[in-house]
Amino acid sequence: MTAEMLLSIDNDILKPSIEIGAFEALWANKDVSSFKQLHEKFQSSNVHSLSDLIAPAIAREFYEKTVTRLHDTGIHHFGVRLAGTVDYPKSLRDADYPLPLLYYVGNWDLVFSRGVSVVGTRKPSPNGIKRTRRLVKGLVDAGYTIYSGLAAGIDRAAHQATIEAGGSTVAVIGTPLWLRYPKENAELYDIISKEHLLISQVPIVSYVQKDIKFNRFFFPERNKTMSALSEATIIVEAGETSGTLIQAKAALKQGRKVFILNSNFENAQLTWPHRLLEAGAKRVCDVDDILQELLNGRDQATAD
C-alpha cells in the first residue's frame, strides 16, 4: 500500500495513509480505549472520516510511525479497508460497533467468498482435533472458505486442515499485524499471510504502549469481527469460559448461524451448549448436517 492511494466515500476523497494515521492517533489518546468508545466518538462528532477528528500533521506523524513499525518487523506490503468504501465488507455493518478500519495482508477477495468460522478451545482433546480436520475437509470440498483465529488448538487445526485440503483460509487475529502469536504458529502465520488472508483490527503503534491486561481485550473483539465476516460459526470443542462463546453470542446477535457439535452436549460438565441452544444455536452431528442448514439458509435468503 502506498500513501498516494486514494479511495472514494460519499463523494469525498480519502487518503488511506491519513486515515491510518488518524486511527492510530485516536487509539493513542487516553479518551479512546475500546471500539465502542471510538464508534461513539465518531458518531457524536458527525464527521465523515476518522481524519476529521485528528489534525493532519498528527495523522501523518502516526502514519509514519505505523509504517516504520511494520517495516521494522518485516512487513513491507499491507492493505487497509475503510468503512463506507466499496471494498469494505457489508457484513461488518451487522456488528454492534462497525469497525472504521481493518488492516490485512494477503488476498482480500477471500472475504467475498462464502465462508464459515471453525473455532474452539486452545487445549482440545485428540478427538477434538480429529473432528476439526474431518469437518474442515467436508466444508472445503463444498467450496467454503474457512475462518479461524490463528490461536493454538482448534484454530490451528482448522487452518492447517484447510491448507492441506487445498482450500482457502482467513485468519482474524487478536494482535497487531506484525505480531506472530503464539510463537508456535509463526510458520502458519507466514503461509496464511502470503497465500491466503490475515486480518487485524488492532492498532499498531499504541499496542506496545499498553499493558498485557488491556491488550487481551482485542481477542474477544476479533471474535466479534470474525462472526460478522463469516456466514456461520461452528464450535468444535470449548470449555465454560472459552472466548469461542463470545463469538457464538455475537454471531446470534448478528443474525448468523451457530452450530455446536453434538459431542459438546455429551459432556455433562458443560452447561453452555444448552444455553446457546435455547438462544438459537443448532445442534449438529456432522458436516452433512451443517451443509444442509447452510443450504436451507441460502434458499431462504433467495426466497426473501
Q: Is 196 exposed, middle or buried (0-12, 13-18, 19+ CB in 10 A)?
A: buried
> Does pLDDT of 10 surpass 70?
no
Residues 6+ apart with CB under 8 A from 98: 39, 83, 92
Give the pLDDT score at 208.
85
CA-CA distance, 173 to 159, in Å (whole number)? 12
Pair 217, 175: CB distance under 8 Å:
no
Q: Please, where are the H alpha helices in the chain?
A: 16-28, 35-45, 56-72, 126-141, 154-164, 186-195, 212-215, 218-229, 244-253, 262-265, 272-279, 287-303
Positive or negative torsion for Cα 175, 179, 185, 189: positive
Please report the domains of the chain, with CATH numbers, ordered by start residue: 7-106 (no CATH), 108-303 (3.40.50.450)
SS3 55: coil
Q: What is the pLDDT of residues 239-268, one digit of tens each?
A: 998 989 999 999 999 999 999 999 999 999
> Does pLDDT of 12 surpass 60?
no
Q: What is the pLDDT of residues 265-288, one digit of tens each?
A: 999 999 999 999 999 999 999 999
- Averaged pLDDT score across all residues of the chain: 91
Angle in degrees, 0-180, between the axes of helices 16-28 and 35-45, rounded to the nearest 10: 120
Give the pLDDT score at 297.
66
Residues 6+ apart with CB under 8 A from 68: none
Q: What is the pLDDT of residues 150-194, one digit of tens each?
A: 999 999 999 999 999 999 999 999 999 999 999 999 999 999 999
Tell me the one-letter amino acid at 186: A
> Does pLDDT of 78 surpass 60?
yes
Q: What is the pLDDT of residues 79-102, one digit of tens each?
A: 999 998 889 999 999 988 989 999
> Does pLDDT of 16 surpass 50?
yes
Give the pLDDT score at 303.
43
Question: For the residues 213-236, what does the mean pLDDT come to?
Answer: 94
Buried b (16+ CB within 10 A) or exposed e, 154-172: bbbbbbbbbbebebbbbbb
Pair 40, 49: CB distance under 8 Å:
no
170: left (phi > 0), else alpha (psi -120 to 50), else beta? Answer: beta
Give the pLDDT score at 225.
97
> Does pLDDT of 234 surpass 80?
yes
> Does pLDDT of 1 surpass 90?
no
Structure confidence at residue 233 as a pLDDT band (50, 70, 90): very high
Torsion, CA 121, CA 235, CA 95, CA 5, rounded to 10: 70
Structure confidence at residue 15 as a pLDDT band (50, 70, 90): confident
Q: Which three cell numbers stand for residue 147?
A: 475462518
> Does pLDDT of 42 surpass 80?
yes
CA-CA distance, 86 to 89, in Å (whole number)? 8
Quickly count: other Cβ atoms within 10 Å of residue 185's Cβ.
21
Give the pLDDT score at 53.
93
> Does pLDDT of 113 surpass 50?
yes
Structure confidence at residue 4 as a pLDDT band (50, 70, 90): very low
> Does pLDDT of 237 surpass 70?
yes
Instruction: Please choose, from the candidates 280, 268, 242, 213, the residue with its C-alpha nearest in 3D space to the C-alpha of residue 155.
Output: 242
Give the pLDDT score at 139.
98
Give the pLDDT score at 48.
84
CA-CA distance, 112 to 104, in Å (whole number)? 14
Beta-bridged to residue 173, according to DSSP, are 200
Distance set, CA 211 to CA 26, 164, 207 (Å): 17, 37, 8
